[in-house]
Chains A and B, each alone.
Chain A
């Protein structure tokens, strides 16, 4: 209970920071922090496998992907854009509300386990369950990921074949023009 009380405000603060930070890189790093703290929460609760996988996938892969895509795209002024077109808020709200409703509904339906009642699951039984009774889900995910990979390869190939430069070097250019600012601001 005490780790939860310490960790959850930190997670919330980091997540709020990820939303409110003006510079996208700060937001991405805070998002990574909040995801890492989530992994710590899993570890504290005794779900070692989920905790480590959360760390590996979200901090090691997703956060890196986000900062990498920040690097190779040209920074635009989203806040300015939003001020000019307030209608752009609508899709965001339309996406957020159902998710929030679903989360609240699920949480209200879930029975809260008594402390000390947490099931301890060995890695072996977890693996067996995952690859026997949950095999269809795993296979479906595998097919999805393979399709995504093939799609990415095709996209990369198309860009290469049409003679476009494969590396985006526009950010060094903008940095040269403005002279002072680092590429991402």
Chain B
């Protein structure tokens, strides 16, 4: 935490803007003569409140923007009745969700049925806390930030299982089974891709990983991990895995509307359903934020000489671009089949992500220069091309065996 000074001139500079609530709370409490522990706790609460406020409004906005963009992609207009350009649509949705009847099925386990939506939202919010949004803005600067992110993220699978099981009906159970098998399969390459970054940066602290990506190659190429051979491969794999982890199209089988209604959310209505929705979007923000931190240089500016723009604007600009690419993919690709999904995870994603580890090690020990490029590019490109050829020729699309539906 930065030292607290009432006469700090930089307090109102744009770089510190997101930390203003925390600092104001701390200043006011200090001047009131509160105990130091109370001041720091209140400061942390204010910082957490800032993050929550930012991302809950981003969630509301995204729910509108997503529908608008999907509508444009499908040659429609999209929501345009509530307010100018449909800007009040999230408010209307919120009122609708809150005033709906809360239905609990007769066969449901009441306590677990209530617990599941809470457990889904909790890890997403916790994970948002450790991401460095700006040079001066990391709500929770932990030494083990990356580990914390994955540890709380691993709670989601259990929460989805609870949601599916406690509903006491078939579609939620099937959806939960699909979701868990998908998330377990894609969590592995996700973590392995992050491992390469840890190896090269030599730290688990997310702010320091971003600092390691500062500077420029040849004066204009940013020294982000994405612009290294292993980083490019790991970044692409991470991107695909994060789509699967966020249960988004084309990997949205757990809630495939045409097959199992809404998966684990089938038996939920009203505010609990809204919580699931919120958890999903906050999780999307968190995993995109982690990807940006690991591979896209976090809050670093994309070109030299742009440092006068507050760093958190760069972060949120990148976040907007990544989220837009998710929406674009959702509007473009059809849903994959479960066997294609699993095959892709175990036969392509995991071997390729494992390969980025030796590549990252070689990159690190050959001095990160021209020699490293010469060695690591063929090491990654040759297996990549071979895997792509095998997948195109023999493995996809696999024939499907119907065992119980002849």
Contact = CB atoms under 8 A, between A and B. Distances in A.
B403 interface: yes
Interface string A52-92: 11011001110110011001100000000000000000000
A49 B144 contact: yes
Contact of A67 (B150, B161, B404): B161
Contacts of B180: 64, 67-68
B168 interface: yes
B169 A182 contact: yes
Given A67-B161, A172-B170, A123 B143 contact: yes
Interface string A162-175: 00010001001001
Contacts of B404: 165, 169
A25 interface: yes
A32 interface: yes
Interface stretch (B6-14, B151-159, B213-221): B151-159
Nearest to B187: A60
A123 B161 contact: no
A71 B177 contact: yes
A49 B143 CA distance: 10
Contacts of A183: 170, 173
A169 B204 CA distance: 42
Interface string A30-50: 001000000100000000110
Interface string A147-185: 000000000000000000100010010010000001110
Determine the interface band of chain A, counting residues with CB < 8 A from chain B: 20 to 34
Given A67-B158, A68-B180, A55 B169 contact: no
A7 interface: no
A59 B152 CA distance: 9
A29 interface: yes
A39 B144 CA distance: 15
A40 to B, nearest CB: 12
> Which residue, of B144, B158, B173, B177, has the highest number of chain A Cβ atoms within 10 A?
B158
B118 to A, nearest CB: 14
Contact of B151 (A55, A63, A123, A182): A55
Interface in B118-162: 142-144, 147-148, 150-155, 157-158, 161-162
B180 to A, nearest CB: 6
A184 B153 CA distance: 26
Nearest to A164: B403
Contacts of B107: 182
A57 to B, nearest CB: 9
Contact of B162 (A29, A55, A172): A29
Contacts of B147: 49, 52-53, 56
Nearest to A182: B168
Interface string A1-42: 000000000000000000000000100010010000001000
> Which residue, of A63, A67, A123, A172, has the highest number of chain B Cβ atoms within 10 A?
A67
Given A52-B144, A182-B169, A59 B158 contact: yes
A122 B203 CA distance: 11
Nearest to A65: B184
B157 A60 contact: yes
Interface in B157-209: 157-158, 161-162, 165, 168-170, 173, 177, 180-181, 184, 204
B158 A63 contact: yes
Contact of A25 (B150, B165, B170, B403): B165
Contacts of B153: 60
A182 B143 contact: no
B320 interface: no
B112 interface: yes
Nearest to B115: A29
Contacts of A61: 154
Nearest to B338: A167
Contacts of B154: 55-56, 59-61, 64
A60 B165 contact: no
Nearest to A71: B177
Given A123-B143, A172-B170, A52 B161 contact: no
Interface in B59-78: none
Contacts of A48: 142-144
A68 B179 CA distance: 11
Contacts of A64: 154, 157-158, 161, 180, 184
Top 8 closest A-B pairs, CB basis?
A60-B154, A56-B151, A52-B151, A165-B403, A55-B151, A52-B147, A182-B168, A64-B157
Given A60-B158, A123-B144, 11 more contacts: A29-B158, A29-B162, A48-B142, A52-B144, A55-B151, A55-B155, A56-B147, A64-B157, A71-B177, A72-B177, A182-B170
11 contacts: A48-B143, A52-B147, A52-B148, A55-B154, A60-B153, A60-B154, A67-B158, A68-B181, A72-B177, A123-B204, A165-B404
Interface of A: 25, 29, 32, 39, 48-49, 52-53, 55-56, 59-61, 63-64, 67-68, 71-72, 122-123, 165, 169, 172, 175, 182-184
Interface of B: 107, 112, 142-144, 147-148, 150-155, 157-158, 161-162, 165, 168-170, 173, 177, 180-181, 184, 204, 403-404
